[in-house]
Amino acid sequence: DGGITQSPKYLFRKEGQNVTLSCEQNLNHDAMYWYRQDPGQGLRLIYYSQIVNDFQKGDIAEGYSVSREKKESFPLTVTSAQKNPTAFYLCASSRLLAGSYEQYFGPGTRLTVT
């Protein structure tokens, strides 16, 4: 089955620690995205990538970092500089970086930092 996987589903960390969220897709999509969702809120774009070794900041990139070394993978690191890291993180991909292409979302990772 083709799709997007995110792991783990739940993640707990202590304040001050960096943590990396995994996102893998086997859809052969060029574009990938990371969104953050807070309780009762919509999605906010953190980073996006339209091709390997290229990525751009979204609306709320501060305190986050990404890499795109392989087409299939787009890991997100939540650094200790992110002031409010507890949230639901969603990864998505689309065939190309364009509004005319459907985004496919993963199941999400719920991060809790205490």
**Residue indicated by tokens 């999509």:** 29
Q: Is 2 in the site for another protein (CB under 8 A)?
A: no
Q: What angle do CA 56, 58, 60 make, to 5 degrees?
A: 135
- Exactly one of 55, 74, 106, 111 binds another protein (CB under 8 A); that residue is 106
| C-beta closer to another protein: residue 59 or 62 | 59
Closest CA to 108 of 19, 2, 11, 15: 11
- For residue 63, the SS3 value is coil
| C-beta closer to another protein: residue 61 or 80 | 61
Residues that bind another protein (CB under 8 A): 4, 33, 35, 41-45, 48, 50, 58-59, 88, 90, 92, 96-100, 102-108, 110
